Chain A
Amino acid sequence: MNTPTIGHEEWAVELEARRDWRRDRWGWLQHQARQAPSAALVGLPLALALALALLFGNDYILRVAGTACIYGVLAMGLTLVVGQAGLLDLGYVAYFGVGAYAYALLASPQLGLHTPIWLALPAAIGAAMAAGLLLGVPGLRLNDDYLGIVTLGFGQVIVLLALKLDRLALPWAGATLDLTGGPNGILGIDPPRLLGWAPATQGHWLLVLAATLLAVLALASRVVDAPLGQAWRALREDPLAAAAMGLPVTRLRLLAVSSGAAIAGLAGALFAGWQGAIFPVNLDLSLLLTLYAAILIGGLGSLPGALVGAALLAALPEILRDPALGRALVYGGGALALILWRRWPGAALLAAGGCGIAIAASLATQADVTLAGNLALVALPIVLAALPLVRRPWQRLGLQAFTLVLATFAWETRLAAEPGLARPLLLGVALIAMLIVRPHGLFGRQRVTVV
């Protein structure tokens, strides 16, 4: 029984170990993330950031931190469904919306109800779970792409309902009921009041949101380690084998979708209470994209990863709001990426020079450069597409440098002035770079599909 096993297996094992410690720049961090319980790993920096924000932050900083908390809760719920159970749920934001609107209806002047929080919050969570189950049952037989399409449609239906239910006809009363306020949303939502205390300042709110975040993190990380989490991962890996081993596939799927929906509903209710208002635009597709970007950057299925991704994505638009900070981010990040990306050593050297020239040029010409900027913006994707086709080293280096200058020019003349365009563009570029360089995200584990 003690004969040594054959070569290739030992090699694979060794490769893993080496990758952790030497080859991979994130290896050390990843190793720590694996070793430390996720609650401690995220709890400590979170507590630190919270203390700093509360001590030194103005309302604006506190607000951004609060948004990061909401994103964090949402991203954790999503990563349970998508990363752990492997269900492509593109209707996730709908559960956030159901939770928010349910809470808003129960605790605002809209219907004249002012339900206490201990009733309104569970009701909002329950409504979101019900929405999850409603969708989960017909979606049960669908896999991957089909499930994604159906849930995406469902998400849009919820937005439409929020938009259109401001004139709900009540035939028996011969009148119409304004349920959701249509595009104007629901205003004057009560803050959650518990034992006579309600958050009054942004600092209070941040405490409430961070406490929620920690509670959800603790709960979710326990579930991930519990037999339920293991069963979810088994389902993700191979539903057929899971079924043959006696795992109740249907029940597990429903549990995953409704757990995610419950977390999203909780986040929605808190969001509504925090803003004091809820609008259909709060549920638009950009939130879904943000959340997916967060869990992909953090690493699919990883709770700490979801939190880090959420924090990054909450901070990114705010940084881009300020031209100076935005410039620092773009050039700093760009230079770092070029250095990390070993395939571009020469270009990294040229980057500094190219950027400098371009900045100088664009600043020196006080003339109207909009047209030139537009042209650069159009030329950029073409040059990018051409890059892989050029093989000769010198031509390649030249084209790389030209790309950098073009990108810098486009950024300085057009994108920096239009954060609405620059944000999604940067996010997209960052995501693509991430998926190429590190497909399993910051904290995710490398996954193998076919061996």
Chain B
Amino acid sequence: MSLLMCDQLTMAFGGLQVLRGLSFAVEPGQIVALIGPNGAGKTTALNLISGLGRPTSGAIRLEGRSIAGLAPAAISQLGVARNFQSLRLFLNMSVLENMTAVGYRRARTNTLQAVLWTPAFRRDAALWRARAEELLGLFGSRLGPHRYDQPAYSLSYANRRRLEIARALMTRPKLLLLDEPAAGMNPHETDELAALIAALPRRFGLAILLIEHDMGLVERVADQVIVLDHGAAIAVGSFAEVTADHQVIAAYLGQSARAAPDEPPEEEAP
């Protein structure tokens, strides 16, 4: 069974059709990239999967269970985590607190135990902190111990993106939704991130649905690429396959590309 199944998703805001019959699947352990021009509806699809909106029609299944229209918190408890393209950290909290705040109700101990400072609570808190440190450690010194107590608003944009990914991992997701994680990063930082993303599925046993405009990153990490244009998938396949597709070239380069359909894709297939 697929981890995630989207079937004929449509979404309309008033009269604006943003998604028109989008179908795709994500298998366990897979990295699937969702690419497409600005306004194609990529973020909207991600919002629907994470519960920030109910599709106008169509089905979303997580491990066979319908999750369309569930509350975001419920979907998160089922094992879906995400970052935000527009960055939504808890700005006035420390880096470490951004991580551990996710622990409420996921931890094994309750508030009474916390107030009484019981040994069980202290063990639990130490575990959560260790997990937070481990996940921040994925980014090496960039989110190193010297940053733990700094407020999130003091981080650079690239570090905010990193912290959002680490925070999402705190929820132990089965499916990680990444919306343009490399936006605002320089080529060197993007390389770093690509190595990290490629390693995540094995290390944490999760699958990734990735939205990204940086084609180098997509080429490096994606097992499968879905090209979205005007709310529908126009191509599905490996990176090499979809970049060779005429429709894709047309969607990205506009009408002029249609005149010369035989031009080879810019990127060399791996």
Q: Which residues of A contact B (CB under 8 A)?
A: 1-3, 5-6, 8-9, 12-13, 16, 219, 222-223, 225-228, 230-231, 233-234, 237-238, 240-249, 252, 445, 447-449, 451
Contacts and interface: CB of A to CB of B under 8 A. Distances in A.
The interface size bin for chain B is: 35 or more
Given A223-B111, A237-B92, A248 B81 contact: no
B140 A247 contact: no
27 contacts: A1-B140, A1-B141, A9-B155, A13-B154, A16-B154, A222-B117, A225-B114, A227-B100, A227-B128, A230-B100, A237-B89, A237-B90, A237-B92, A238-B88, A238-B89, A241-B84, A241-B88, A242-B101, A243-B71, A244-B50, A244-B51, A244-B81, A245-B81, A245-B171, A246-B106, A247-B73, A249-B73
Nearest to A225: B114
A150 B107 CA distance: 34
A84 B8 CA distance: 42
A237 B93 contact: yes
Contacts of B142: 1, 5
Given A1-B192, A245-B102, A445-B92, A451 B97 contact: no
Contacts of B168: 245
A451 B91 contact: yes
Interface string B149-185: 0110111100100000001101100000000000000
Contacts of A246: 73, 76-77, 102, 105-106, 171
B69 interface: no
Interface in B107-124: 107, 111, 114-115, 117
Interface string B32-53: 0000000000000000001110
A9 B114 contact: no
A228 B155 contact: no
Contacts of A8: 156
A283 to B, nearest CB: 30
A246 B102 CA distance: 7
Given A227-B111, A246-B105, 10 more contacts: A16-B154, A226-B115, A237-B93, A241-B89, A241-B90, A242-B101, A244-B73, A244-B88, A245-B81, A245-B170
B201 interface: no
B73 A228 contact: no
B20 interface: no
B73 A226 contact: no
Interface of B: 50-52, 71-73, 76-77, 81-82, 84, 88-93, 97-98, 100-107, 111, 114-115, 117, 125, 128, 139-142, 150-151, 153-156, 159, 167-168, 170-171, 188, 192
Contacts of B106: 246
Contact of A227 (B91, B104, B141): B104
Contacts of B156: 5-6, 8-9
Contacts of A227: 100-101, 103-105, 107, 111, 114, 125, 128
Nearest to B177: A244
B73 A248 contact: yes
A450 to B, nearest CB: 9
Contact of B159 (A9, A16, A249): A9
A445 B51 CA distance: 33
A234 B93 contact: yes
A253 to B, nearest CB: 12
A253 B16 CA distance: 34
Contacts of B92: 233, 237, 445, 447-448
Given A13-B154, A231-B101, A245-B167, A222 B114 contact: yes
A243 B100 contact: no
A244 B93 contact: no
B114 A244 contact: no
A1 B142 CA distance: 8
A244 B52 contact: yes
